[in-house]
Amino acid sequence: MRLQFLQIVFFSLFSVGFYAQKVQNLVHNGGFEDFVECPVKMSNLNKDTEYWNAPTLGTTDYFNVCSKTKLGIPMNFKGKQKTLEGDGYIGLYLFAPKDYREYIQVLLTETLQKGHRYRLSLSLSLSEKSDGAVMDMGAVFSEKPLSVHTKRQLSNAMLSSQSVKTTHAKSFSNEGFYEDKQNWMRVSLDIVAKGFEKNLILGNFKSNGGTTYLDFRQNPAKPEGYSYYYVDNVVLEYLGPEYKPNQRYVLEHVNFDFDRFELLPKAKYNLREVYSYLVKHPNLKVDISGHTDHLGSEEYNEVLSKQRANTVANYLVRLGLDKNRISYKGYGNKKPLDSTLTDKARKKNRRVEFVMTKFEDDN
């Protein structure tokens, strides 16, 4: 009974630790808590906040509870709103006359990994004095910080014309207009990184004509209104690699010691990523293949490679994956990745590969 209790405690701590790793924020100062000066004047993002700046001539604002001016919290020049957490947030126009736009830009803590998945999320609230609401909030990633001499929208065409490499704008999730003036609305989007992304830009990348806009005014025939939003708690978290069906992958760090089939610590971490992906894609199953180097007899290597594949399969089962979604086989030294007779080649060949294919439950 005591052993069972200790196992439960261990796996609970393991789960908490694993979750903590997954929600590590890759955005510097994502809650806008760190500042250089307490806000005094409007259009102060570049001057007062740590890490954040405006990539265009748009004059984005920074608010903090420490301010005794119109940039205070909860009362400020655009209405009343408490922070989601902490003491600060920013404010920017997502819709305004003549396509005027404001953006925010931040350096990430690391360059994103090519072919890996990330989730970007943030909270926003429509200011009380806004004339209308939009459902167009987006994100762009760039290799280097942007500096564009414009007050208008950063369209994909304009982004493509810059010397800095950027992604196309991608929109956050929405189930309607972002029209809540009392509460914070949480939105998110998932991306697969191209491998150059080091900076993040947020805002509305569409023109007024391309923006879906809900006008609250009784006489919308008057000149265009505006939508001003508070933004807080920007989080970019790592989700793991992006695995394509029917494509063969070598499990990273699952290179066994010579004549061994126990999993190394880094191998277990990468297998947890595979497990997490399979949990999120219940329509997929995984086929595991074990391999050895050329040392030893063919018969022995076939048994050893099968043990290595079985070790990986059993670990996925321990994590919670249904046995029906797993198959495994050993190939010995019949399929080397590197045929040179070096220690480096032998280590490379002591591996496990997998392929994800469509899963159909017979039950």
* pLDDT tens-digit map of 155-188: 999 999 999 999 999 999 988 999 999 999 999 9
Strand partners, 79: 76
For CATH 3.30.1330.60, list the domain ranges present in the chain.
248-358
Residues whose CB is less than 8 angstroms from the CB of residue 138 and which lie 6 or more positions away in sequence, other chains included: 169, 170, 171, 172, 202, 203, 204, 205, 206
Query: From CA 35, how far away is CA 97, in angstroms rounded?
Result: 30
DSSP 97-129: GGGB---EEEEBSSPPPTTEEEEEEEEEEE-TT
CATH of segment(s) 23-240: 2.60.120.260
Specify the pLDDT at position 220: 67
Q: Where is pLDDT greater, at 301 or 39?
A: 39
CATH of segment(s) 248-358: 3.30.1330.60
Say yes or no to pLDDT of 68 above 80: yes
Confidence class of residue 359 from pLDDT cuts 50, 70 and 90? confident
Query: From CA 50, how far away is CA 32, in angstroms rounded?
Result: 8
Confidence class of residue 260 from pLDDT cuts 50, 70 and 90? low
Of the given ranges (156-165, 254-263, 304-313, 339-348), which has the lowest mean pLDDT?
254-263
Q: Where is pLDDT greater, at 100 or 8?
A: 100
Confidence class of residue 1 from pLDDT cuts 50, 70 and 90? very low
Say yes or no to pLDDT of 2 above 50: no
Residue 55 Cα distances to 122, 152, 170, 307, 335, angstroms: 19, 12, 17, 55, 51
For CATH 2.60.120.260, list the domain ranges present in the chain.
23-240
Strand partners, 185: 124
- ω before 74 within 30° of 0 (cis)? yes
Rounded to two decimals, the pTM is 0.76
Specify the pLDDT at position 14: 43
Specify the pLDDT at position 293: 85
Q: Averaged over 130-145, what is the pLDDT?
A: 97
